[in-house]
Structure 1
Amino acid sequence: MSRGGATKDRESGPERKCIVSGTVQPKARLVRFVRSPEDLIVPDIAGKLPGRGIWVSPDRAMLETAVAKGLFSKAARAKVTTPDGLPDMVEAGITRRLTDLISLARKSGEAVAGYEKVKTWLEKGEAKVLIQASDGSERGKGKLNTPRDGKWLGWLTSEELGLAFGRQAVIHAAIRTGGLAARVIDEAQRLRGLRPDVTEGAIGGTARRKGQTD
């Protein structure tokens, strides 16, 4: 299945530094945390909570390192407590935000689900993002190609994708060009590093599962 045609992602806007890697990235590509009045580190998935932000790359290993080495306390300049299972908490929050965005796109007529509808959008050049469930049939998914100058996302499960469309399960979905498509891509990029069974494969390229071969 062709997974080419990736376009340049949004890189503009305010930037912040990851407390683990030291890299500076757009805020949309990082995860913000804040210190609560009870000195608890709280994930701020939407980036709207009051307080001084602490930023970490959306990567499970980096989050685990931040906890293990006490980097949140160092960044907060105070002794803080991190909740158990912080990486899982962040993954769940970003997954929920991503499915909510896809659901919003559906309600506004900017997203469709189902093989035939998605195929029609792709053939007409209406789709910006092709989304396919990670647990869907590789043979079935291989019949659809990434939109020209578009993106492919493949690490939501069929159940998670189904939630966005009010169904039990969805394998194929597509989103039109627009602001919601860009936001979906940003959230999907954040989610990828938090899914331990997703290996290398950039958005717009083929995402491989552990153990998958050519």
Structure 2
Amino acid sequence: MTTQSLDESGNDDTIDWLDNGPVKGKSAPTRMCLATREHMPVSRLIRFVRSPDGDVVPDLAAKLPGRGVWVRADRDALAGLLTSKSGFARGFKQSVQVSEDLVEQVDLQLLQRCQASLGLAKRSGAIILGFDQVRNELQKRRPGWLLEASDGAQDGRRRIVGLAVALYERVRVATALAGEELGMAFGRDHVVHGLLKTGQFTDVWTKDYRRLYEFRRLTDDVWVSGTVGKNV
């Protein structure tokens, strides 16, 4: 743990960074990122609260009690706050304790949310796994998402994505998870190819995946706006 305190020079930020508590209702308000000062939808931000002991705690579900601050889902933005002498203290307007591995904690929690979404979808029959099975499913209907392991063989990934684009022109491809990370979602050692069917789980997965994707800063990935395909 490292301690962050308010700037003793008296030049602390005058912005009230704290929200009024957990997000309620179905609205999608915007908040200002403590690191970048960008106004963004809360769906693209990560909430942090200060525990009674003064520890900075990530609140990915945005449901923990008390007032919190928000940081863009971006590992560099979060890392910058950790190295600042008054990064989170500036937001909470008081001294805080910050874990040195907070970036890794957030990455893991974002990953676990994605895995939980996929696991629930699998138990409900909304997931197809395996190269041949995914290929056969693509012949029947448009996918909600293709799931391709980031460390999977390029040839196999190109064939699956190429078939999907040929059939439907535009598809959504998730490639932020490694094969082992995908496998953990389904109780397997390793998964390279998967498909999430269009349906009730698509929106939940999309929200969880977008934050993980942006946090991991996969700028060279095939997925940027959410789709790949002709003229994209």
1:10-89 map, 5 Å? 13-69=28-84, 70-89=86-105
Corresponding residue SS for 1:33: strand
Deviations 1:91-117 (A, max 9, x none): 001001101101111111111111122
Matched, 1:200 2:223: no
Shift of 1:193: 3.2
Shift of 1:19: 0.9
Corresponding residue SS for 1:168: coil
Q: Is the 8 A contact 1:163 1:169 kept in 2?
A: yes
Q: Mind listing any 5+ residue stretches in structure 1 that lack a counterpart?
A: 1-11, 207-214
Shift of 1:179: 3.5
Q: Is the 8 A contact 2:82 2:100 kept in 1?
A: no
Corresponding residue SS for 2:125: coil
Corresponding residue SS for 1:90: helix
The percent of aligned pairs where both chains have the same amino acid is 33
> For residue 171 of structure 1, what is the aligned residue in structure 2?
192
How far apart, CA to CA, are the structure 2 residues paired with 1:205 and 1:79? 45
Shift of 1:59: 0.8
Q: Is the 8 A contact 2:146 2:172 kept in 1?
A: yes
> For residue 162 of structure 1, what is the aligned residue in structure 2?
183
* CA shift in 2, pair 1:107/1:126, >3 Å: farther
Shift of 1:205: 4.1
Q: C-alpha root-mean-square deviation of aligned residues, in Å?
A: 1.8
Corresponding residue SS for 2:159: coil
Q: Is the 8 A contact 2:34 2:70 kept in 1?
A: yes
Q: Is the 8 A contact 2:79 2:103 kept in 1?
A: yes
Corresponding residue SS for 1:81: strand
Larger radius of gyration: 2
> For residue 158 of structure 2, what is the aligned residue in structure 1?
142
Q: Is the 8 A contact 2:171 2:228 kept in 1?
A: no
Corresponding residue SS for 1:173: strand
How far apart, CA to CA, are the structure 2 residues paired with 1:185 and 1:114? 21
Q: Is the 8 A contact 1:115 1:172 kept in 2?
A: yes
* Corresponding letter in the other structure for 1:44: D
TM-score with structure 2 length normalisation?
0.78
* Corresponding letter in the other structure for 2:191: V
* Corresponding letter in the other structure for 2:176: W
How far apart, CA to CA, are the structure 2 residues paired with 1:43 and 1:129? 28
Aligned residues: 194
Shift of 1:172: 0.5
Q: Is the 8 A contact 1:153 1:204 kept in 2?
A: no
Corresponding residue SS for 2:215: coil
> For residue 109 of structure 1, what is the aligned residue in structure 2?
125
Corresponding residue SS for 1:193: helix
TM-score with structure 1 length normalisation?
0.84
Shift of 1:150: 3.4
* Corresponding letter in the other structure for 1:130: L
Q: Mind listing any 5+ residue stretches in structure 2 that lack a counterpart?
A: 1-26
Shift of 1:35: 0.5
